[in-house]
Structure 1
Amino acid sequence: MASFDTAIVLEKHEAHYHRCPSCGMVATLETPWLEEAYSTAIHAADTGLLRRARRFSAMTNAVIGFEGLKRGRFLDWAGGYGVFTQMMRDRGLDYWQHDDFATPLFAAEYADDGEGRYDLITAFEVMEHLADPRAQLAPVAARTDRLLFTTQLLPDPAPRVGEWWYYMPPVGQHISFHTVASLRLVGKDLGFELTSNGAGWHLFHRDPIDLRTRALLSEATITGGRRVRQLRARATALLGR
């Protein structure tokens, strides 16, 4: 990893950002401020939590439908307060929740017991929080053949810290910033292939996925339910199903 940039995190800690010359990933390798950053699991600046949960639930429901998994078992990993999990259960899906830092206020009775496998695991806005994605994802990967997740990929060329909102140094929780190449490497090490829209939506999968899922993900943005319905209809129409 080569030195890339520096910034002040949490308004007082100097952070050194490094970039991999091979895959382009940017990361802070030393993070002594993390305990302070996670003194509250969900930062006050995250005012879009409910809106995102609605959007993520629409997209995930579409993927589950295309993959023929409606009768399956699902887990939202690092799921925060459990809003998304409850929304998915409201759709009639067998969804469970896990988070090491937050209390699942809205899904306490659906806590993952650490046993068994899941047909799909979701991990929304998580990858940017992981200091060692391979090691931290390994226990999750061992329990599923499909991992649907969001994280904003680095633009090309990679912006400096003050030029891209997703670094979020005042919050201090975002420490890893990926490219398609870096995600592909992580997935390969965990036994997955990667399907990505090259922006925010990504799917690790061990087996081939439905062409409608691929079409949906290729055009997806972190967007609203109405837009997801339009994309789902278009993906179905394009493939004549």
Structure 2
Amino acid sequence: MKDDDLLDALGRAARKNDLLADPRWDALARGELSDEEIQKLAEGSAATRDAVEAFRPLGAQANACLTEQALVAIGAQNPGAAPAEVVRIHRPRRALLALFAACLTAAVAFVLLSRNDAEPPLPMYALSVEGGDRSFRADAPSPDEPRLAPGSRLSLSIRPAADVLGVVEARAYSIRDGVVAPCRPRIEIAATGAILVTGSREELFPDIGPGRLEIAILVGRPETLPEHTPAASELAPEGPTRAFQVLRAAVWLTDPNEK
């Protein structure tokens, strides 16, 4: 037997053993086979039946749904990108179909994983204040508001109703006569989400004279906390719906000359 005849024989044998060499698979992927033809194509081994299910068209509704989710995922990653030019392929081959299906599956998986990775809402927090001459619990009305003399320290314990999953941050502000000013206390956050805010009168309320004021602690996910100093209306106890929690307590700054 000549070399060419041997190669032809090997090629015929390889095509005979190639499950996907039959041109009907391309027709099946394009949706051009009748139910009778599909049933005949599926006859044989379990591998053939699995291939039929893999190549069977998804249907217009499923394709539209998957395409929409893929475009949403791509748009979310590239919000400023120009729309891509669509090139119609009249006779797709198996390799192109497989590549398109893999890309579509990856895009859909990205959307689903992105949704699943979202951190759960924070549990409700409760604030208790210790320091100065008296202690005050924010969750129970009390006339006993802490009085801070120069050099006195204040400690605010902020505890969640349940352990927190994910990252949580806190920021502190003072409020007097509708004016909000940032505080610079020491803020420690435990793995459970519990928060401890501490500082001296001078650290918490710099350049603020004697009198009554409120301290507001903002608690939330890092991306939900405002980057700017919020207005007093944003920190109101009954303010608008917020993506973060606001906990407030009143304190008194005593006059240094007070006896």
TM-score, normalization by structure 2:
0.20
| Higher relative contact order structure (alpha carbons within 8 Å, sequence separation ≥ 6) | 1
Which of these two proteins has the greater Rg computed from alpha carbons? Answer: 2
